[in-house]
Amino acid sequence: MKQLVTKVRRCEPLNEFVYFVELELPEPIEFIAGQYLTVVMGERDERPFSIASTPAQKQTVQLHIGAAPENPYAWEVIEKIRQDGELTINIPAGEAGYVANSQRPLILVAGGTGFSYTWSILQQHLASNSQRPITLYWGGRKSHDLYFHDELLALAAKDQRFHYQPVVESHVNGAWHGLNGLVIPAVLAETANLADYDIYIAGRFEMVRVARDAFVGAGLPLEQLYGDALAFI
């Protein structure tokens, strides 16, 4: 792991509460898709964020930061970006990265900005020669929370290896071609034998805890479930 001072290239809203942040690195960094970095806010204050970009982008890293004024943990990072134009980071971190040499198909499960973790893995997988199918279940409260929805629909139409299943909690008026409800039950309802898959998951700790118990209870070996939150629950 290295500590680097990075310049902020971009900080743009993706929706009301999520910001796309691109950091310029002072030197190329090697990492694995699915790893994260920490933003140094103080001597004993480091805040983790999944890397949304892939290792192919060696001069920059991208983040999706869910931030609102009532959530100071992330909002203070956005304020620091705006005020200083740079961030000190430690990179890379995490033990739940993409396993390229597996033969099993992949299921990605994301809640909210946990999508950034799965987005890195998805891009890395589709850029490889692997023909393993990969399915993304992305859950949000409302369709507006799925801030890459159109891009994912286009990607699924373009690449037959990829299937995208959006899941929203609240009822959607008008045309909606995804699922309504919660993302974990959606995965269980649509997957016949979880033991056949590698599953990568990111979201709130409570969601990951529910998923771990449900998936293992349905027959998934724990070693086939990947997510950094698993080490903390």
pLDDT at 68: 85
pLDDT at 190: 95
pLDDT at 172: 66
Domain span including residue 19: 2-93
Q: For the chain, which residues score pLDDT lower than 50?
A: none
Q: Are residues 86 and 110 in the same domain?
A: no
Residue 157 lies in a domain: yes
Q: Are residues 224 and 110 in the same domain?
A: yes
Q: Are residues 84 and 141 in the same domain?
A: no
Entry pTM: 0.96
Question: Where does a domain end: 59, 93, 127?
Answer: 93
Give the helix/strand (H/E) hosting 115.
Answer: helix 115-127
Per-residue pLDDT tens digits for 139-186: 999 999 999 999 999 999 999 999 999 999 986 666 777 888 999 999
Distances (CA, A) of 76 to 8, 24, 55, 87, 103: 15, 20, 27, 12, 42
pLDDT at 119: 99
Q: Are residues 216 and 112 in the same domain?
A: yes
Q: What is the CATH number of the domain that holds 204?
A: 3.40.50.80
User: Using CB atoms within 10 A of its CB, is residue 131 exposed (0-12), middle (13-18) or buried (19+)?
Assistant: exposed
Closest CA to 191 of 96, 109, 85: 109
Q: Are residues 141 and 227 in the same domain?
A: yes
CA distance 27 to 4: 9
Q: Are residues 114 and 62 in the same domain?
A: no
Q: Are residues 191 and 120 in the same domain?
A: yes
pLDDT at 171: 67
Domain count, the chain: 2
Q: Are residues 63 and 120 in the same domain?
A: no
Q: Are residues 216 and 119 in the same domain?
A: yes
